[in-house]
Structure 1
Amino acid sequence: MIALLVLTALVLLPQVLKLVDLWVNKSVSITILGMMTLLIIPKFLVASLPMALLVGTLTALGRLAQDSELTAMKASGVGLWHMIRPLALLPLAAALISLSLNWYWVPQAHVLFTQVKSALLASNTFSIKTQTFNQSIPGLTIYVHKQSQGGRLLEGLLIHDAREPDHPVTLVARSGALHRNSDGDTAILLREGSRHQSLPEGKFRQLAFATYDLPLGVDLGASSKEGDEERKITAFSGAQLLEQTQSSDPQQAYEAIQEQHRRLAIPIATAILGLLAIPLGTQHAQRTGRSYGLVVAVLVMIAQFVLLNLGEAMAKRHVVSPLVGLWSPNLIMALFTLYVLRLAHYDRGLRFADWLSQLLSVIPQRLLRKGPPASPRAEG
């Protein structure tokens, strides 16, 4: 549990900092930020749960090995298979939690987070701070000297539109009014102003206007039409995925099948990693201490991450089927787990783990070893 809390906090920290920016610069309430933080936690729990399971199991078994309790258990007739039975309950529980996160909590949280974010973006359009350079809309910097009529009438505007980086535009207007255009997006109707734009070869264009309609690309409702049409398949519920697999569009059906395999493969991978930690922890932790558990957990997670991403990428490019691409990494790790279990049953060490144990036991000694005494200077 400690490893899960620490690892989740580490991977969650960059996202929380982005949300804190909404509180500092956009005056979003703490309650809304707390709700948004809770909605993104399930997604990161899926990633931190296998790592926490590895670190926790290896650290616990390492402590037992350091205290010679594993040796006493083996001398009392308690073999590896007897130890696996209670320890296997933890990977099984972690796999069930991961399965529920993938199939229910993560999609639901993604939908709710998108709705809150869209509504927040729309509301921030009407709460532009005066005498401040507002950047609540990506690519737009808006400065307003004064507001009236509940924030809908703006006076003294300076707008820099960099949504097209190659053709930035600067607008200056005496006044403007927020309204909803025919596409359902928020726009500012500028009055009595000028439009400035730099052109290639050092040229400059200036346009004076009586009225100018600038779309902001923000829906006044809680969701946009484009967002509904381009909704990520990772946000689909289990029933929606099943319906999508029967779609007339082959590509959509293929993506739905791949997503189904991914949601099932990750919980199984979590269980396999938990089982792999048992023989690795009982064999090599006694000589190296707690550092062994963390290093092994990182190396195993890197290997699993590379295999999963490689298989998923090959499945996306139609090099292999989703069944092969998403389940081959689990098959490889399962075979490796059985191999390590067999070695542990016969008290044989894994050569790579032996090298790692020796390395981790030698490094602290080398770092703490005192250097040779300095030779006295010759007096001349």
Structure 2
Amino acid sequence: MPSRFSPHLPRLGRIERYVLIQQLRSLGLALAVIAALVMLIDFVEVSRGVGSAQDLSAVRIFGLVLMKSPSVIVQLLPFVFLFGTLTAFIGLNRRSELVAMRAAGVSAWRFVLPAAGMAFVLGILTVTVLGPLAASGDAMWQRERARISGTTLGADSQEAIWLREGDDQRQMIIRSARQDRANARLLDVSFFIYTTGADGGRTFSERIDAQSATLSAGRWRLNNATGAQVGQKAVTYSTLDLPSSLADKEAFERFARPQSTPFWSLPNQIQRIENAGFTSTAYRLRLQQLLATPLVFAAMSILAAAFSLRLMRLGDLAKMSVSAVVLGFAFFFLNQFSSAMGSAEVVAPFVAAWLPPVLTALAAFTLLFYTEDG
């Protein structure tokens, strides 16, 4: 039904769309600048590292940079939203467009909240789509760097590996000096077997050394093995079978770094690591940080907008802009410090991941309330 307020609704919608378009343009510019800087730094780093050791061509180095840089760029996206939103609103302020909006009775909440909402949606897109692509690229970069530098030679790895498996009655710690992935074998391997008592305590019961151990069909097949239980003489076996709860892929596949694990794979990765008897704190922290990413982007957008709403004629806009950048970097260092506390298990991963963005969002809303409502 028409009313006397209906003529104003389309105008307000156009204003909001106009502000969002300006913000998107500034975000694109900020992303281009930061991406160019990151790729330039990575190009120099790869050239001096892997490239100089193997005499790679510039095209090959650029291909490695395309694998490596996206994960770094994704980590710097909060600054893209900080600088991009700040640039967009300062531009509107310098052209007196914010003055005209405020004089027309348009509240700052009418164009700041849509900007924050768009940042939140882009954060979801980053976590669900862009982040997994960047994580896959980082995993490819790690494999290519290892292959080019020669840390992994063919199917054999010269690096010792440790495994842990078992159940409520028995635990096995497995150490292998070398591994043959092509034949699913561990070479020069030792099994340390512990029994679990009724009180939950573990007691060492036996050690078995073998020339090789092959995993298949839910068992370890040990060749040329020597085993000794506590208080007994050593016994030699030509072959010996030990039950195993590991799948072939789990035993011979190294766990990827948290940064190289896509968002959708993190829950399964956490479960695998815990089943293997290792701590999953770093992966739980990474999962919570990814879940908090949309809030981080929205908080950065509100913070930048709140600092740039001061009218040009009142002065101090430059100081306010510098203050926004300083607060943005303060959030970055707070986030790094909180991540270190979470990784060291000083605080829970949930608290370490969510505390910095929540504090930043509260600070941004407080400043916006003070700027708009006094």
Q: What TM-score results when the alignment is normalised by the length of structure 1?
A: 0.58
Contact kept in structure 2, 1:315 and 1:322, CA below 8 Å? yes
1:77-118 deviation per Cα after TM superposition (whole angstroms, max 9, x unaligned): 111122224423441343134313674123211111122222
Q: 1:84 aligns with which of 107, 112, 132?
A: 112
Q: Does the Cα contact within 8 Å between 1:51 and 1:297 map onto a contact in 2?
A: no
Distance in structure 2 (CA, Å) of the matches to 1:120 and 1:227 = 21
Deviations 1:300-345 (A, max 9, x none): 2221112212222222222221111211112211211221121122
Q: Distance in 1 between matches of 2:312 and 2:288?
A: 35
Provide closer, same or farther for how the CA distance between residues 288 and 12 of structure 1 changes in structure 2, counting only shifts above 3 A.
farther
1:252 Cα deviation from its structure 2 partner: 2.4
Which residue matches 2:363?
336
Partner of 1:95: 123
Work out whether 1:281 is the aligned partner of 2:292: no
**Is the counterpart of residue 54 in structure 1 residue 117 in structure 2?**
no
Counterparts of 1:88 and 1:183, CA distance in 2: 51
Shift of 1:27: 2.7
CA RMSD, 1 decimal = 3.3
The answer to whether 1:26 aligns with 2:54 is yes
Which residue number in structure 2 is paired with residue 12 of structure 1?
39
Residues 303 and 324, structure 2, Cα contact 8 Å, conserved in 1: no
Which one of 271, 285, 297 corresponds to residue 298 of structure 2? 271
Give the SS at the match of 2:347. Answer: coil
Moved more, 26-35 or 50-59: 26-35
Question: Does structure 2 retain, via aligned residues, the 8 Å contact 1:63–1:289?
Answer: no
Distance of aligned partners of 1:8 and 1:79 in 2 relative to their CA distance in 1, 3 Å threshold: same
Query: In structure 2, what is the Cα distance between the partners aligned to 1:324 and 1:232?
Result: 21
Q: TM (normalized to structure 2)?
A: 0.59
The residue type equivalent to 2:354 in the other structure is: W
1:65 equivalent to 2:90? Answer no
For residues 346 and 331 of structure 2, what CA distance do their matches in structure 1 show?
20
Structure 2 gap ranges (5+) = 1-27, 154-177, 181-250
Shift of 1:290: 6.0
Letter of the aligned partner of 2:138 in structure 1?
H
Once the two structures are superposed, what CA deviation does each residue of 1:328-379 show, in whole Å capped at 9, x if it has no partner? 1122112112211211221x3xxxxxxxxxxxxxxxxxxxxxxxxxxxxxxx
For 1:51 and 1:227, how far apart are their aligned partners in 2?
Answer: 39
Q: What corresponds to 1:243 in structure 2?
A: 268
CA contact (8 A) 1:102 1:263 kept: no
Question: Is 1:301 equivalent to 2:328 in the alignment?
Answer: yes
Map of 1:129 onto structure 2: none
Equivalent residue, structure 1, for 2:258: 233
Name the counterpart of 1:197. Answer: none
State the one-letter code of the partner of 1:314: M
Cα displacement (A) at 1:239: 4.8
Offset at residue 288 of structure 1 (A): 4.3
Give, in whole Å, the separation in 2 of the partners of 1:7 and 1:227.
Answer: 38
Q: What amino acid sits opposite 1:41 in the alignment?
A: S
Contact 1:90/1:274 (8 A) holds in 2: no
Instruction: Name the residue aligned to 1:219.
Output: none
Of 287, 295, 310 in structure 1, the residue corresponding to residue 337 of structure 2 is: 310
Structure 2 residue aligned with 1:120, among 128, 144, 148?
A: 148
Q: Distance in 2 between matches of 1:265 and 1:19?
A: 31
Code of the residue aligned with 2:360 in structure 1: it is M
Structure-to-structure mapping, 1:123-142, within 5 angstroms: none
**Is the 8 Å Cα contact of residues 49 and 94 (structure 1) preserved in structure 2?**
no
Query: How far apart, CA to CA, are the structure 2 residues paired with 1:322 and 1:4?
Result: 29
3-state SS of 2:76 partner: helix
Which whole-Å CA distance do the structure 2 matches of 1:87 and 1:252 have between them?
39
**Partner AA of 2:357 in structure 1:** N
Q: State the aligned residue count.
A: 252
Counterpart secondary structure, 1:79: coil
In the alignment, the residues of structure 2 paired with residue 285 and residue 95 of structure 1 have an alpha-carbon distance, to the nearest angstrom, of: 31
